């Protein structure tokens, strides 16, 4: 009922997808950012997702069976490899014991980054529409996991697949925000025991560091290799005074943060055991291995999965 109220309110106010709505080791600020994720942000954004028309299937949408009939050369250079199939039908599927979700495809359609907006001498945090700068390699595909039940509700536990994609978006002012779009270790709990239009599920997932320990910054510093300080600035890194300013950049960390995704099924093909719908996810951006405070990134789009 709360979800319906959200959707009605969003539809009445706007059809826009995103209507107006350094780490002292980044530990304290990063922890605060994690806690501030807020399920309320997801709930409101999810309602706007359903009310707005930006996630409507394109006129040339293609089903899984049609996609399987195409050869490599027919797909090459068309962008279809970055697209999720469409599901036709409004049936229902009740998973049996031992069932799995396979061939899950999660395709982002729009992005927004939380920024502090100043107005009338005051500042407030709002999500600002952003433009994707990454080529068509940001869709997750082949994701799969097991289905179980808890209190009569479906629980999906992600296990493997192409479950992460390095993505960069650009704010209106030109600032670029890199982040890892992922659903690693997702455990999503549903609101019922049957996949049908209106079925919702959501849960938390882990977001690994955008960069690994072998990455070297412009001054040759890295997490597991490279210099342990900026060689050109020894006087500022004596270990006695002045080191605080460069401590976070010298001491790289592999930050693993937490994100959240909410999904709703709106199409079910009982004959093909396929489900499709929309999603809204929030995650934290790159921390540059501990030297920057991450931004909150809101991603929304469509998904497809096969019940096996």
For the range 80-84, what are the long-range contacts, defined as Cβ-Cβ under 8 Å and sequence gap of 24 or more? 81/136, 82/107, 82/136, 82/137, 82/138, 82/139, 83/107, 83/139, 84/139, 84/276, 84/302, 84/303, 84/304
The pLDDT assigned to 38 comes to 47
Average pLDDT over residues 164-179: 94
Q: Is the pLDDT of residue 126 over 50?
A: yes
The rounded distance, in Å, linking the Cα atoms of 133 and 159 is 29
Closest among 186, 202, 181, 227 to 279, alpha carbons compared: 202
Q: Is the pLDDT of residue 7 over 60?
A: no
Which pLDDT band, with edges at 50, 70 and 90, does 223 fall under? Answer: confident
Average pLDDT over residues 75-88: 92
The rounded distance, in Å, linking the Cα atoms of 189 and 157 is 9
The rounded distance, in Å, linking the Cα atoms of 90 and 266 is 7
Residue 67 backbone phi and psi in degrees, to 5: -65, -35
The pLDDT assigned to 265 comes to 96
CA distance to 135, 245, 280, per residue, from 138 (Å): 7, 35, 15
Q: Is the pLDDT of residue 9 over 50?
A: no
List pLDDT tens digits, range 89-112: 999 999 998 899 999 999 999 999
More confident site: 291 or 10? 291
The pLDDT assigned to 13 comes to 40
Report the predicted TM-score, pTM, of the whole model to 2 decimal places: 0.78
Average pLDDT, the chain: 81
Label residue 299 exposed, middle or buried (CB < 10 Å: 0-12, 13-18, 19+). Answer: buried
Average pLDDT over residues 193-212: 94
The rounded distance, in Å, linking the Cα atoms of 130 and 10 is 20
The pLDDT assigned to 236 comes to 59
Average pLDDT over residues 209-236: 79
Average pLDDT over residues 20-27: 40
Q: Is the pLDDT of residue 142 over 90?
A: yes
Q: Using the Cα atoms of residue 194, residue 160, residue 131 and residue 88 in order, give the sign of their dihedral.
A: negative
The pLDDT assigned to 243 comes to 64
The token pair that represents 182 in the structure block: 């992922």
Average pLDDT over residues 156-173: 95
């Amino acid at each position: 009922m709360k979800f319906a109220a959200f959707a009605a309110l969003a539809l009445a106010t706007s059809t826009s997808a995103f209507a107006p709505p350094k780490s002292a080791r980044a530990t304290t600020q990063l922890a605060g950012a994690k806690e501030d994720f807020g399920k309320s942000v997801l709930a409101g954004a999810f309602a706007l997702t359903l009310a707005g028309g930006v996630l409507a299937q394109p006129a040339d949408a293609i089903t899984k069976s049609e996609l399987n009939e195409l050869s490599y050369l027919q797909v090459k250079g068309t962008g279809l490899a970055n697209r999720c199939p469409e599901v036709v039908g409004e049936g229902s599927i009740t998973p049996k014991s031992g069932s799995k979700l396979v061939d899950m495809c999660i395709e982002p359609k729009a992005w927004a980054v939380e920024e502090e907006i100043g107005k009338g001498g005051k500042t407030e945090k709002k999500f600002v529409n952003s433009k994707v700068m990454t080529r068509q390699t940001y869709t997750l595909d082949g994701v799969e996991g097991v289905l179980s039940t808890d209190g009569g509700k479906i629980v999906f536990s992600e296990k493997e697949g192409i479950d992460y994609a390095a993505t960069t978006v650009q704010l209106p002012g030109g600032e670029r925000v890199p982040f890892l779009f992922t659903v690693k270790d997702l455990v999503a709990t549903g609101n019922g025991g049957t996949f049908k239009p209106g079925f919702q599920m959501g849960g938390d997932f882990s977001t690994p560091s955008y960069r690994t320990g072998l990455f070297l910054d412009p001054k040759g510093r890295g997490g597991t290799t490279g210099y342990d300080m900026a060689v050109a600035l020894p006087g500022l890194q004596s270990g006695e005074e002045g080191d605080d300013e460069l401590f976070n950049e010298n001491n790289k960390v592999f930050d693993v943060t937490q994100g959240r995704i909410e999904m709703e099924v709106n199409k079910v093909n009982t004959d093909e055991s396929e489900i499709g719908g929309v999603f809204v996810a929030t995650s934290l951006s790159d921390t540059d291995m501990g030297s920057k405070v991450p931004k909150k990134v809101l991603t929304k789009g469509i998904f497809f999965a096969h019940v096996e």
